Amino acid sequence: MCLSPSQLRGVRLHVVVTGGAGFIGSHLCEILLGNGHAVSCLDSLDPYYDPAVKLENIHDSERSSMFRFVQGDILDRKAVDEALAGFEDSGETVVVHLAGLAGVRPSAERPTAYMRVNVEGTSNVLERSCRAGVSHFLMASTSAVYGASAQAPFNEDQKLSPQESVYGASKRAAEIVCATYQLRYQLPLTVFRFFTAYGPRQRPDMAIHKFAKLMLNEQPVPVFGDGSSARDYTYVSDIVDGIVRAIDTPDGYRVFNLGSDRPVRLDDLVQKIATAVGVRPLIERFPDQPGDVPITWADISNAQGKLGYRPAVKLEDGLARFVTWMKDQSADAEGVDAE
């Protein structure tokens, strides 16, 4: 289990996690509770995928008296204020802003909604956080802000090329809003650029989840392009470890890549998932998808040097854990003993 610096010093925080019932957020809430912090989870239970899945994600956290769930939208000032109100006996308040609309391909179909939620929603959470006197604001961004950059691995200080997707553009705009608030209010602010997180509770539309499910059901896997595109896949516990390490080290405006620094080709990924599932994959090939980039690759030297971030889970091990989780979920859904 990760230990935050604040826990090591015996300081308890009140951490507001927006999007806390989602994939990364629910894992973060559990770690924070385990480290002795009070947690307020703000989530709208958006029907992008089954809200019942998100409620199941926070089932264990809700057993703790130090956990509160606030169902509400980040565009709703009252909901944000309710989440920020905190616990009477908690210490200073920190916000980890993970909520937003995700996905490169869906953003092409709903550009206005992505801009409103990811930019205006972030601005609203920032504004309410400043009014509430939070001590540190941390926001989830994405590797998509790098666009189709030829400079790989991607470094936080490199000049950003135009984003290939509305999703990437909305997150880049949210980063700029964060930088403005940091200057305006002197609010310590940390931005994380996540690189393709995976693991238990991953969104069902993500490639690893989708591919594994198809293989388990003996259905063909859709592969877009020639299989040479590559992604920096990062196990969820490594992502959460990076967040926890940053929470209690506020220092002006900072941007950190959180990735594995190990890009993997799409065709190799398919084979590795097949090995974890224990099948020979059936593959259907399709043309490249608009908005997709040829590679994502995190330069993590900044996070290593300033946070002590060290991704520990190899892709093969992470895929094996994920497939085990998927099989357990299927067995539970069918009422079958998973053993």
Tell me the domains of the chain and their CATH numbers: 5-202+234-262+298-314 (3.40.50.720)
User: Residue 232 to residues 81, 299, 318, 331: CA-CA distances in angstroms?
Assistant: 36, 10, 13, 30
Core vs surface per residue 245-273: b (16+ CB within 10 A) or e = bbbbbbeebbbbbbbbbbbeebbebbebb
Q: Could you identify the residue written with the tokens 């992604």? A: 231
pLDDT tens for the chain, 339 residues: list them: 444 444 434 568 999 999 999 999 999 999 999 999 999 999 999 998 899 999 999 999 999 999 999 999 999 999 999 999 977 677 899 999 999 999 888 999 999 999 999 999 999 999 999 999 999 999 999 999 998 876 899 999 999 988 989 999 999 999 999 999 999 999 999 999 999 999 999 999 999 999 999 999 999 999 999 999 999 999 999 999 999 999 989 999 999 999 999 999 999 999 999 999 999 999 999 998 877 788 999 999 999 999 999 999 999 999 999 999 999 987 665 554 333
What's the farthest any 2 CA atoms get from each other in the chain? 57
Q: Is the dihedral of CA 259, 123, 189, 10 positive or negative?
A: negative
Contact assessment for residue 144 and residue 291, using Cβ atoms and an 8 Å cutoff? no
What's the CA gap between 169 and 138, in Å, rounded? 19
Taking the model in full, what pTM does it have? 0.94
Active-site residue, from 114, 146, 167, 309:
167
Whether 12 contacts 80, CB under 8 Å:
no
Establish whether 167 is a catalytic residue: yes
